[in-house]
Structure 1
Amino acid sequence: MIDSGVRPNAVTYGSLIHGYSTSGQFEEVVRLLEEMRGQGVEPNLFTHNTVMDYLCKHGRTKEAAELFYSMAEKGHKPNMVSFSIMLHGYAIEGSLAEMTDLCELMARDGIVPNICIFNILINAYAKCGIMDVAMLFFEDMLKQGVTPDEVTYLAVIAGYCRMGRMDDAIKKFNEMIDMGVAHSLTIYRCMIHGYFRHGNFLKAKELITEMKNKGIRPCPRKKPKN
């Protein structure tokens, strides 16, 4: 395009960078970013989010964070997608302190978390066994008028099951119906595995029977090809 006298704008570069990021060609992403700067074209918010997403998914959260915090200096205020990308990156690493900093920044910017962000936060703390904090986010979610979904309940139930807090797990399991969230095969498997793991075989068998009575059955295993 440049050779033919047509100068790409931020949108054009953003689309190209998104394509290269999706296909894992990060060397091309870096080349295009350098070309943009050389042409005096400033990456827009979409491009920043695309690059941060790639970096976080490839274990380069520190680099993504540098880009995230430099955005405001360049006139691009992080949006819900930006925060979601960074929180997910930190969640994968178990970097809870950094996640807390981002939550405080969101609050200062007046950004109310959506279902995706709440699920990331709840799952991160539940996986680390910090259920008290996970449940604080769960309660805040309800206060903000955000309805928990299957992903939310799976994170909470799995967290309780890992800790052997099966009474708390079954309470959340039963609460799902009241909240209009159906029990899925994944939820049943989580509860059943929890009961088996902690020696309550009777409860596990009761749930297996209940699951079958509801017509929820494991998908048949595919036969290996010869």
Structure 2
Amino acid sequence: MMNQIQLPKLLLHQHLKPNHKPLTLFFFFFSSSSSSSEQQQNTVTKAVSILTNQRSKSRWNTLHSLFPTTINPIDFSQITLHLNNKPHLALRFFQWTKSKSLCHHNLASYSTIIHILARGRLYSHAYSTIRTALNQNDDEHCRFEPSSTPLKLFEILVNSYRECGSAPFVFDLLIEACLQSRKIEASVEISRMLLSRGISPKVMTLNSLISRVCRKFGVDLGYEIYREFFRLDEEKCEILKRGSGFRVVNPNVHTFNTLMLCCYQNGLVDRVEEIWSEMCEMNCNPNAYSYSLLMSAFCERDRLEDCEKLWEEMRKKEIEPDVVSYNTMIGGFCKISDVGRAEEFFREMGLVGIDATVSTYEHLVKGYCNIEDVDSAVLVYKDMIRKDFRPDVLTLDMVVRLLCDKGRVEEAIEFFRSGVGKFDLVPKEKSYVALIKGLCVEGRMDEGLKLQAEMVGKGFEPNSEIYEAFIDGYIRQGNHEKAEALRKEMLQTPSAATTEQ
């Protein structure tokens, strides 16, 4: 469906052999020389006893007397392993070592507590600990570049997984943490290494990954990642058939919605329809948001008849349109100036109990401005303000210019001042031009000059339209001398001369 592309070097697929050599671990194996002595074993045993048997008030003071200055990361991991069925206690122990600066945690000790928290289903704490670990650069123990931290942490988590009795979603948390830290290449590589081991991240995780890849590297690469990670290529399917029990995760509706949204946001509206077709071919049922995305693509091409067919299809499938669906239809009809049809969807929206959003009102205001129905545009605009919605500057600009065109300059100024003062909007140059021209037509030259000074203060240079408005205004007042002076000034002003040409 889409042409094959050359992937960036960092994201090129690298097959890992099953016997891929693991990294050296530096933590809790009891054969380690740093913790094999009887004395240190006794210390670990005492620490576990203090944590599990003493009351919380005396526990931490007693523990501090056992470790007055520092706790070796290896000892921390051994102690924490004994707390594998007490995740909350393990978390408090970890937090205590951090607050007292007693342990210089490395990736191995972080891995231990991450696994224990995951085992105990303490999702948010496991996630935040992963985020902390990703910021570590443990030169003493691991000696690696900061950019390779996610891959090192992944390898240690893999090799300590069984010993800690962890949960599979720990790797999903790692991928999500990498994505949030903008380590997208690492997220891709970790996902590939999981797949090479016969483990698939959750579909929700893969969807997040595809979305981030699309945003950073483009839709083409996001689509390639989608094909690769959901094992959709024929060659990979054959490999799976020969494999042993690999569980294939299928894309869901959110996967396709992610791809369609990325295509739409990048102006690739034809590809939205292609992704939709692929979704249907894979027997994945679209939801209301899926329909909204395809309808938005059709609206971009003014294909409103196709939009209405999709709307009827939703009804037949008993998929209830949401606010996005209604806004899409309203915006589409307003764009082609069929505001009457847009109003029908607006009324239906209210009848079914869906509250209008600022986008709903802005679509209608712009629609009425397109057909120059100034009264309806003003009415909808005021209704939007009463509902405490903040208009965008383009909506304000359209209303101001339409009012000026209809000779309602004073009303336009009120709207203008309200938008600037109440909503802190930065007006467009066209708004200033329309207002100044309107004031000059009414002979309010002094007010026009003040507004023109304000316009210059906002960084807009006078253009030929501004000069001509003042020249015409002074001529109507009989002040030909001032009009001639302005005409000469206009010819000497680069911005005005350029505009005139």
TM-score by length of 1: 0.80
3-state SS of paired residue (1:23): helix
Contiguous gaps of at least 5 residues in structure 1: none
Q: Is the 8 A contact 1:10 1:44 kept in 2?
A: no
Q: Is the 8 A contact 2:223 2:259 kept in 1?
A: no
Residue of structure 2 in register with 1:101 after alignment: 309
Question: How many angstroms does 1:136 deviate by?
Answer: 0.8
Distance in 2 between the 1:193 and 1:159 partners? 14
1:124 aligns with one of 320, 325, 332: 332
Distance in 2 between the 1:57 and 1:85 partners? 10
Q: Is the 8 A contact 2:368 2:376 kept in 1?
A: yes
Residue of structure 1 in register with 2:353 after alignment: 145
Residue of structure 2 in register with 1:165 after alignment: 373
Between stretches 212-221 and 150-159, larger displacement belongs to 212-221
The answer to whether 1:91 aligns with 2:299 is yes
Residue of structure 2 in register with 1:37 after alignment: 232
The answer to whether 1:16 aligns with 2:209 is yes
Distance in 1 between the 2:207 and 2:194 partners? 16
2:364 aligns with one of 156, 167, 172: 156
Contiguous gaps of at least 5 residues in structure 2: 1-192, 238-247, 428-456, 460-501
Q: Is the 8 A contact 2:292 2:325 kept in 1?
A: yes
Distance in 1 between the 2:268 and 2:314 partners? 22
Q: Is the 8 A contact 1:122 1:134 kept in 2?
A: yes
- Higher-Rg member (1/2): 2
Residue of structure 2 in register with 1:175 after alignment: 383
- How many aligned residue pairs are there? 222
* CA-to-aligned-CA distance 1:199-223 (integer Å, 9 cap, x gap): 43243234346x2897455449777
* CA-to-aligned-CA distance 1:10-43 (integer Å, 9 cap, x gap): 6254343222112133343343344321344432
Distance in 1 between the 2:391 and 2:195 partners? 56
Residue of structure 2 in register with 1:6 after alignment: 198
Distance in 2 between the 1:69 and 1:63 partners? 10
- The Cα RMSD (Å) is 3.1
Distance 1:193-1:71 versus aligned 2 partners, 3 A rule: same
Paired AA for residue 216 in structure 2: S
Superposition pairs of residues 212-223 of structure 1, within 5 angstroms: 215-219=422-426
Question: How many angstroms does 1:61 deviate by?
Answer: 2.8
3-state SS of paired residue (1:37): coil
Identity percentage of aligned residues: 23
Distance in 2 between the 1:206 and 1:15 partners? 46
Superposition pairs of residues 182-201 of structure 1, within 5 angstroms: 182=389, 184=391, 186=393, 187-201=395-409
Distance in 1 between the 2:252 and 2:420 partners? 53
Distance 1:3-1:200 versus aligned 2 partners, 3 A rule: closer
